[in-house]
Amino acid sequence: MRTATISRSTSETSIDVTVNLDGTGVYTVSTGIGFFDHMLEQLSRHSLIDLDVKTIGDLHIDQHHTVEDTGIAIGEAVAKALGDKRGIRRYGDALSPMDETLTRVALDISGRPFLVWKTEFSQKKLGEMDTEMFEHWFHSFAQAAGITLHVETLYGQNNHHIAEAAFKGLARALRTAVEIDPRKADAIPSTKGML
């Protein structure tokens, strides 16, 4: 099993994350931000990556540190669980429809972190979550995981659907990318011999 646990403690947050890349999408998530919990649960369920997240953050200030540090910790856990990335498919992409919304997500577990974010929201909050924090979470996750990640909402109006389509799209793309390719299970998926 490809699993990893990350504990991250700063003066702003205390976070414990465990991932199992070969799981079934079982999750326990608690960040103190209800809508954010809902999105991380979608990430786990649709990627089939088991996810255990407990974040205690300085929410009396705002959500920035909680969301950012949770993204970093989950990204670090995924990177650690991948090890040398031997045998993975490496690339993944998904079209993620949710009612009137359609989002495209493509990623490369390249070791070269980068985020292209082409998603906008027409309201400032979903539940109690600041919508500006979604981009920041995806950026933090991509940086820590070493993933090149492109997220683009092709169209959509409902802000809940837009956010959820992005997380579900990431989940489906990640599910493909972390899978072991039975045709090359013993090889690093790069002509350089390392990722």
pLDDT single digits (tens) 50-78: 999 999 999 999 999 999 999 999 999 99
Number of Cα atoms under 13 Å in the Cβ half of residue 121? 19
pLDDT tens sequence across 9-35? 999 999 999 999 999 999 999 999 999
Is the per-residue pLDDT at 193 higher than 90? Answer: no
181-187 long-range contacts, CB within 8 A, separation 24+: 181/87, 181/88, 181/89, 184/87, 185/86, 185/87, 186/86, 186/87, 187/86, 187/87
Number of Cα atoms under 13 Å in the Cβ half of residue 38? 14
pLDDT at 1: 83
Is the per-residue pLDDT at 97 higher than 90? Answer: yes
Q: Locate tokens 């255990």: which residue?
A: 52
| Strand-pair category, 91-98 with 101-108 | antiparallel
Give me the mean pLDDT over the 107-111 stretch: 98
pLDDT tens sequence across 141-169? 999 999 999 999 999 999 999 999 999 99
Q: What is the pTM of this model?
A: 0.98
pLDDT at 155: 98
